[in-house]
A and B are shown apart, each in its own frame.
Chain A
Amino acid sequence: MVFSSHIFLFGFLPIALLLYYATPARGRSLTLTLLSYVFYGWWNPWFTFLMLGSTLVDYGCGRMITSGPATPGRRKLGLWISVVTNLAVLGFFKYAIFISGNLGVVAGWLGLEAVAAPEWLSQVVLPVGISFYTFQSMSYSIDLYRGHARPAKSFIGFACYVSMFPQLVAGPIVRYGAVAEQLRSRVHSVPDFVAGMTRFNYGFAKKILLANPMGAIADWCFEAGPHALSFPIAWAGVLAYAFQIYFDFSAYSDMALGLGRMLGFRFPENFDSPYKSASITEFWRRWHISLSSFLRDYLYIPLGGNRKGVLRTYGNLFVVMLIGGLWHGAQWTFVIWGAIHGVWLAVERWFGSRVEWKPPLWIGRLVTFAILLVTWVFFRSESLDVAMRYFGAMFGAGGGEPAADLLAAVVFRPTHLVQLAVCSGIAFLLPNTARFLSKLSPWKLWLGLVLLFVSVRVLAVQGHNPFLYFQF
């Protein structure tokens, strides 16, 4: 079930709100947990057992780390069981096919006879949201080990934290410490409900009215053959994809934060107008903030951060972004996407430490956005071959055939151009949803409701519209 579906909006959500508010305060976490399992099981009921398993393991590890004779060995064992279990689950479901495929390639290079991957491996399907909840669940054990959080007082509270449906499948990745108090007791008020509802409405509209139309343009371009791709089409396609992924993912975050607030939770912000960034370093402070801070705290700093010399700092940045890329998907395209970001972060750090001159803001933004467009090509392409061919078109190769004219006629329809212009204006010029709604006035409230009504009507004529980040 996705937020932008009829079944969620008119079936699950009203029932969830009714049940949640009809439950006495003490039982609300349990109600929310059960609702979240229904929400998650909607994709595939069997996957709920996976989530329950992950929850049990991390809760148990948390107890091991913090209760009883908390010897260093016992604490370390608890931590390792948690980390290894979560990474093993993630590794199996997300990376088994990738690893077996690449082992075959390496075996071929070495002249060895590759052992064929078992047939059943090709049937492995990624449980939706697994990258998010395994990270979230694992962060609990790590925080307990480091003494950054207190253990959950009840299993229900912890299960609620892991499974909470508003942010379960696509984040933001919430650390236990950020919601521990709210899990114990939270405030439910009319202003919070209204603020959450309005945030949800804007997120819903953003997904239906902005992200999906951009996705339609991007699909035409990225699904095109090399004979039909030309210079303007390739740039239009990657521009559309840049807006699609931003509006899609930030819309999900808006809805997640809004739903959370309607239920009395305050989750951390996940986006802050990332395309207004004047450097890649700044971009990572504004894009998928919960992931970048997770990678910083659980990977970059343990690797030594910037404390072990200049070269090691650059290396750490590179490794962290490489892993961040791989986290998004088991494809070399994601690895390269991460590598480019890692290299650029290192370049900016090197440049910043040696050169006094700072470019004007608009140049910084332009260059940053151009780099992002290039990296989005890897992110969107299903293989390196496709990405390289796409780059070829972006930099002038191809486009001479009549098929390119036909595709141009489809891509550069007047409605598409207007949609691209509107998305550009919103992404570059307007404040983001969080800032826009931070001062909630009546007209913003009513505009949100109108946008919801309009979006529901548009949803009916749109086709299937999954969120992009569900696949990560």
Chain B
Amino acid sequence: MKNPYQDSPVIDTFEVSHGVALTGILTFLLFLVLIPLTGVKELAVRDSPDTQSLREQLRALETQFSEMSIFSRGREKDQALLVRWFREGNQQVLIGKEGWLYYRPGVETVVGKGSRYIEPPSVARAPGRKPWQSPLPVIQDFAEQLEARGVRLVLVLVPTKAMIYPEGLAAKRKGALPFEYDRTFQELQSMGIECVDLRSLEGQWMKQDTHWTPGAMKEAARRVAEVISAPGGPGKFAFSLVGEERIAKGDLVGMLGESNLEKQFGPERVLLERVVSAGDGEMLSQKSDSDVVLLGDSFVNIFDDVSLGFGEKGEKRIGAGFASHLAFATKQKLTVLASNGGGATTVRKRFAEERSKRTTAPKTVVWVLSARDLFLPELPARRAGIEWEFVKLPEATRSIEPKRESGELILTATLQEKSRIGEGAERKSAAYDSAIYSAIFSEISVERGSYEREEAWVFLWAAKKRKLMETASLKAGHRYRLRLIRFPEEGAESTATQLDDFFRLDLNRYFALEAEPME
């Protein structure tokens, strides 16, 4: 046996003329130098991050560098080419056949190792990463806290598109379930949690969107209503349905970038049924102290929150979402706490806050949870930004409404701390195009209105349409003039993804309409 490559030495010969060599070097160097020169202006005006850590400043510079417009413009064009020529998506979106698109974490939910799987400890991990918290203990803790307060929990598990319609990805068989799906269900039930299993849901998911069709959503609402209406009988309100056809670009097309992909992916066309009061035909409003509290994510908000598409110009809410249809099916108004991408933790935090302010306890909590949040294993869950945290509920509802600072407030205050905001590419490929973040302000002086606390918990816009807003660049240690309102219970701010690292039950939540830096 003689391997022809074995031990034959490499001998260099140079067959390039001096002129060609110099031209090659010049081309190489010009390429390296001219590209950053086009972005010097962008880098010069960049916002330095508020962190004091040199390491994080370097990371931010690196991100800023790779997000220079020369690269981001090219990225969108190249992504479009990859889609057209090779049917290749990106880190978020898988391209199926006949225009079907799939959210990658939704597929990973089905084929992954399941949420019980935790990566072994390693020194090679990302520095400063929090240990992973798997979901089941958190759900159990939440259920126990609710039970101790006499509140019933109904968990509604929404399948991912890949579970319901795998054919779009050219899979041969239907019925793919996440690892240990049945075992997890049984465990949840053994914890005393009533579970609504929607795996057999009729109807399809939207072709270019992560979410269910109006038909599937309505059927889900009907099934949930059957479960929660049983003990007390149906409610007393009468609603009626108004059908409307709407079109929108699917959220998955948005995740592929801003480039012109209309030819590949036409708009999603859906027939919505808006739920209105039978008497005056007005859109259904929420009730802040309903017996039924609905917690959920974008599966609750779709067809209601205009930031998820299907809205019309000037429309603030659509009124055809899951909450409306659950209200229709149960004939009662609901308290709705839904945050896009926040089904795992954000909504429980909001529930804890709301509960501390309610005068009466709810009887039932319906928690609509995507199977993605429950079954994704650690690595893909981290990539998808899913985080499970224990949330302690207040001991009891308050008998007297706490003193609330009301009306519009104008404060001057120093930014003490703000939650993390994804930047650049991370934001551009984020699952939801709108996000708010929170910040704690101190050294407060009141210009208008009344405010008596030493700190203020303020939410601000981080991004709209996947673009960072000016309010995202507030810096710790700087003073700002803030025009605030109490955090709205409905509207784009209440449903947007919350990038919130703080959980301050001792403070009321405010939303900043304006935040101007002070000289």
A interface, CB within 8 angstroms of B: 1, 5-7, 9-11, 13-14, 17, 42-45, 93-94, 96-97, 101, 122, 124-126, 190-191, 193-195, 197-198, 201, 220, 223-228, 269, 272-273, 276-278, 282, 285, 329-331, 358-361, 364, 382-383, 401-403, 405-410, 413, 415, 434-435, 438-442, 445-446, 449, 452-453, 457-458, 460-461, 463, 471
CB of A11 within 8 A of CB of B36, answer yes
CB of A439 within 8 A of CB of B127, answer no
Which chain B residues lie closer than 8 Å to A195 at the CB level?
Answer: 12, 14
Question: What are the interface flags for B1-18 relative to A under an 8 Å C-beta threshold, 1 for contact and 0 otherwise?
Answer: 111011100111111111
Contact of A439 among B15, B78, B112 (CB under 8 A): B15
Contact flag A407-B111 (CB < 8 Å), given A402-B174, A442-B16 = yes
Which chain A residues lie closer than 8 Å to B10 at the CB level?
Answer: 269, 434-435, 438
Name 22 A/B residue pairs within 8 A (Cβ), A-sorted. Answer: A6-B71, A10-B36, A44-B55, A126-B123, A201-B28, A225-B113, A228-B110, A272-B5, A361-B3, A403-B177, A405-B166, A405-B173, A406-B110, A406-B169, A410-B111, A445-B21, A445-B24, A449-B24, A449-B27, A449-B31, A452-B31, A460-B71
* CB-CB contacts below 8 Å: B171-221 with A: 171-179
CB of A1 within 8 A of CB of B14, answer no
Contact of B107 among A122, A124, A359, A410 (CB under 8 A): A410
Q: Is B62 an interface residue (CB 8 A)?
A: yes
B interface, CB within 8 angstroms of A: 1-3, 5-7, 10-18, 20-22, 24-25, 27-29, 31-33, 35-36, 54-55, 58, 61-62, 65-66, 68, 71-72, 74-75, 78-79, 82, 86-88, 90-91, 94, 107-108, 110-114, 117, 119-125, 127, 131, 162, 166, 169-179, 377, 379-380, 425
CB of B108 within 8 A of CB of A457, answer no
Chain A residue nearest to B30 (CB atoms) is: A14
Taken together as a complex, chains A and B put the C-alpha atoms of A358 and B18 apart, in Å, by 49
**Distance to closest chain B CB from A321 (angstroms):** 21
Contact of A446 among B11, B17, B24, B170 (CB under 8 A): B24
Which chain B residues lie closer than 8 Å to A10 at the CB level?
Answer: 32, 35-36, 65
Which chain A residues lie closer than 8 Å to B17 at the CB level?
Answer: 442
Which chain A residues lie closer than 8 Å to B380 at the CB level?
Answer: 223
Taken together as a complex, chains A and B put the C-alpha atoms of A76 and B7 apart, in Å, by 36
CB of B61 within 8 A of CB of A197, answer no
**Distance to closest chain A CB from B156 (angstroms):** 22
CB of B111 within 8 A of CB of A403, answer yes
CB of B62 within 8 A of CB of A5, answer yes
Told that A93-B123, A223-B113, A401-B177 touch, could you supply 20 new A-B pairs with CB distance under 8 A?
A5-B66, A6-B68, A10-B36, A17-B29, A43-B55, A101-B121, A125-B127, A190-B18, A197-B28, A223-B108, A223-B380, A228-B110, A331-B120, A402-B174, A405-B171, A408-B171, A409-B171, A415-B87, A438-B12, A452-B31
Taken together as a complex, chains A and B put the C-alpha atoms of A89 and B170 apart, in Å, by 51
Taken together as a complex, chains A and B put the C-alpha atoms of A139 and B173 apart, in Å, by 58
Chain A residue nearest to B379 (CB atoms) is: A223
Query: Which among B108, B123, B176 has the greatest number of chain A C-beta atoms within 10 A?
Result: B123
**Distance to closest chain B CB from A436 (angstroms):** 10
CB of B90 within 8 A of CB of A461, answer yes
Chain B residue nearest to A197 (CB atoms) is: B28
Contact of A440 among B15, B107, B119, B122 (CB under 8 A): B15
CB of A402 within 8 A of CB of B173, answer yes
Contact of A9 among B32, B72, B113, B425 (CB under 8 A): B32
CB of B62 within 8 A of CB of A282, answer no
Which chain A residues lie closer than 8 Å to B68 at the CB level?
Answer: 6
CB of B166 within 8 A of CB of A190, answer no
Which chain A residues lie closer than 8 Å to B14 at the CB level?
Answer: 191, 194-195, 440
Which chain B residues lie closer than 8 Å to A445 at the CB level?
Answer: 16, 20-21, 24
CB of A282 within 8 A of CB of B3, answer yes
* CB-CB nearest 4 A-B residue pairs: A225-B179, A228-B111, A471-B124, A358-B1
CB of B62 within 8 A of CB of A7, answer yes
CB of B123 within 8 A of CB of A94, answer yes
Which chain B residues lie closer than 8 Å to A190 at the CB level?
Answer: 18, 21-22, 25
CB of A125 within 8 A of CB of B86, answer no
Which chain B residues lie closer than 8 Å to A285 at the CB level?
Answer: 6-7
Taken together as a complex, chains A and B put the C-alpha atoms of A220 and B54 apart, in Å, by 35
Taken together as a complex, chains A and B put the C-alpha atoms of A13 and B36 apart, in Å, by 11
Taken together as a complex, chains A and B put the C-alpha atoms of A226 and B377 apart, in Å, by 13
Taken together as a complex, chains A and B put the C-alpha atoms of A457 and B29 apart, in Å, by 17
Which chain B residues lie closer than 8 Å to A408 at the CB level?
Answer: 171
Chain A residue nearest to B92 (CB atoms) is: A463
Which chain B residues lie closer than 8 Å to A93 at the CB level?
Answer: 123
Which chain A residues lie closer than 8 Å to B112 at the CB level?
Answer: 223-225, 228
Contact flag A276-B16 (CB < 8 Å), given A14-B33, A409-B169 = no
Which chain A residues lie closer than 8 Å to B22 at the CB level?
Answer: 190
Which chain B residues lie closer than 8 Å to A402 at the CB level?
Answer: 166, 171, 173-177
Query: Which among A331, A410, A438, A439 has the greatest number of chain B C-beta atoms within 10 A?
Result: A410
CB of B2 within 8 A of CB of A361, answer yes
Chain A residue nearest to B79 (CB atoms) is: A461
**Distance to closest chain A CB from B375 (angstroms):** 9
Taken together as a complex, chains A and B put the C-alpha atoms of A457 and B11 apart, in Å, by 33
Contact of A457 among B16, B74, B113, B162 (CB under 8 A): B74
Taken together as a complex, chains A and B put the C-alpha atoms of A442 and B79 apart, in Å, by 31
Which chain A residues lie closer than 8 Å to B3 at the CB level?
Answer: 276-278, 282, 361, 364
Which chain B residues lie closer than 8 Å to A401 at the CB level?
Answer: 176-177
CB of A460 within 8 A of CB of B173, answer no
Chain A residue nearest to B67 (CB atoms) is: A6
Taken together as a complex, chains A and B put the C-alpha atoms of A9 and B18 apart, in Å, by 25
Which chain B residues lie closer than 8 Å to A458 at the CB level?
Answer: 78
